[in-house]
Amino acid sequence: MRPDAPDWLASARLTLGRAALGPRTEHRGRVEEVGDGVAMISGLRDVRLDEVLHFEGGQVGFARVLDPDLIGCVLLDAATKVEAGDAVFGTGEVVNVPVGDALLGRIVDPLGRPLDDGGMIEATTHLPIERPAPSIIERDLVTEPVQTGVVVLDTLFALGRGQRELIVGDHSTGKTTLAIDALIAQRGSDMICIYVAVGQKTSSVRRAIDALQAKGDFSRCIVIVAGSASAPGLQWIAPYAGMTMAEYFRDKGQHALIVIDDLSKHAATHREIALLTRQSPGREAYPGDVFYIHARLLERAAKLSKTRGGGSLTALPIAETDSGNLSAYIPTNLISITDGQIVLDAPLFHQGQKPAVDVGLSVSRVGGKTQAPILRESAGTLRLDYAQFLELEVFTRFGGMPEGRVRQQLTRGARIREALRQPQHMPYRLCDEVALMLAVQSGLLDPLPLRAVTTFRMRLPAALDNGAPEALQALSETGKLTPEARESLMAALSGLATALSAPPAEDAPAKGTDQP
């Protein structure tokens, strides 16, 4: 090297001297055709399923169909800049998403890219979206309750940590609201909340996020958005990405609750991708693996054994029906996969019974063993009494006014139905639910008009805080109701019922207002 050579030239020569020279292999293919978010690629014979592919324009996709001559690649970005003849490069890696505590309180897309104003996310690590479900030996019994704050769920269809409970119903019957209320109720618990929006309208997602930010603990929530305007590939991977992010906390010994809204749209996206990649259609044009894609997804929700840390992942998938048809293809598949279903009824919703839960069709196959003992004790025969009331109500429409025991059952059933109503985004505490069930089962609400029962339900939390603070503290600490605490609760409930039963001096009660 000449003494007068510039410093940068000397540095370049040094770098070239250390570089590994020689032949280098490169997996390169060619786009044959592209359209509707799917590209058919030739020349990549060594690509594996779900491998990430890079296009020369910077776009990203993943291999979904492996045929001998063509690779069906689903794009994860807009397809407007991908054209036939473009070069495609294999990476050898499957789709991964960031996981970790840095995602808490953030709104991201299924790839972990931020959609809010919080800046870039420094993830703990990256994990593949497709992961095996825990084996049977790695699981434990579902014994711990998930308090949703929704009276009709906690009393009649209790959920357990590690359970998979389907929320199913027609369009606009309150499915998302019910799930969001369950997430809001975790603001005082140790559960991490994940909300996955698949194919939803931007306005619906915005309302859900606003509710979580206003009423819940958003610092312990992760929102994953793949809206209706997103690429089909993003909508397809969204539930799997959400599960991977939730599994990070489960595997650490923590507890997580994930809501997938909804799997009906995810199945439609899967059908769209399958038809575009020329897979054989089956029933209702769905491909043959439509059951498997949801089975392997929901099977990842589980309660782990103590040797695995004792964490849990509870799943609340949502599915939409058409005219209440539960025997449709996708709802039937999901009902057979999950541990129970919460069925929302459109006629009940339009009658003002919200949440519009159909107690006859809904069931929780696990939660009865996980329900808080004090709540199970206070609810007693609530479900049986309510079911008998619904049958009697139908029969009495054809005859005159019943008398005796039947009239008493109708009166009690009407009060039960009114007690099960609940405004949205206002979850109850466990002590509120216990007190409400005590009031219903003891007959304390029977003399009250229905309008007074509504007022009783609304004023109940404040009345308990003022009239029985010691009983509430004992109940929250021990989970049991001593005779002294029960007496204190009943005294506060009786005082509230007495105040509501006495009409104002200036107003005379209207005729018929006390009839159920």
Q: Where in the chain is the domain with CATH 1.20.150.20?
A: 376-501
Question: Average pLDDT, stretch 50-59?
Answer: 90
| Strand boundaries in 129-165, DSSP class E | 145-146, 159-160
Cα–Cα–Cα angle for 355, 242, 324, nearest 5°?
35
Question: Average pLDDT, stretch 62-83?
Answer: 88
Tell me the per-residue pLDDT of 505-515, one tens digit each, with 9 for 90 and over: 444 444 444 44
Contacts of 51 (CB under 8 A, 6+ apart): 62, 63, 90, 91, 92, 93, 94
CATH class of the 28-94 domain in this structure: mainly beta
- Within 10 angstroms of residue 53's Cβ, the number of other Cβ atoms is 24
- Kindly list the distances between the CA atom of residue 248 and the CA atoms of 86, 112, 124, 311, 452, in Å, as whole numbers in the listed order: 37, 14, 10, 10, 48
Task: Tell me the C-alpha distance between 55 and 328, whole Å.
Answer: 39
DSSP string of 178-200, one letter each residue: HHHHHHHGGGGSSEEEEEEEES-
Question: Average pLDDT, stretch 424-453?
Answer: 91
Chain centre distance of CA 417 = 25
Specify whether 412 is catalytic.
no
Specify the 3-state DSSP secondary structure of 285: helix
- Structure token pair of residue 292: 């498997």
Superfamily of domain 98-371: P-loop containing nucleotide triphosphate hydrolases (3.40.50.300)
Question: Average pLDDT, stretch 431-456?
Answer: 91
Task: Tell me the C-alpha distance between 100 and 477, whole Å.
Answer: 31
Tell me the per-residue pLDDT of 300-338, one tens digit each, with 9 for 90 and over: 999 999 999 999 999 999 999 999 899 999 999 999 999
Selection from 208, 203, 262, 260 nearest residue 229 by Cα? 203
440 or 516: which leads in pLDDT: 440
Q: Which residues of 473-489 are buried (b: 16+ CB within 10 A; e: fewer)?
A: ebbeeeeebeeebbebb
* Catalytic residue from among 296, 365, 407, 421: 365
> In whole numbers, what is the pLDDT of the chain averaged over residues?
88
Superfamily of domain 376-501: ATP synthase alpha/beta chain, C-terminal domain (1.20.150.20)
Helix or strand (DSSP H, E) at 377: helix 373-379
Selection from 156, 217, 152, 206 nearest residue 176 by Cα? 206
What's the one-letter identity of residue 414? Answer: A
Q: Where in the chain is the domain with CATH 3.40.50.300?
A: 98-371
pTM: 0.89
Contacts of 215 (CB under 8 A, 6+ apart): 184, 187, 425
Q: Where in the chain is the domain with CATH 2.40.30.20?
A: 28-94
Tell me the per-residue pLDDT of 208-265, one tens digit each, with 9 for 90 and over: 999 999 999 999 999 999 999 899 999 999 999 999 999 999 999 999 999 999 899 9
Give me the pLDDT at residue 503, please: 59
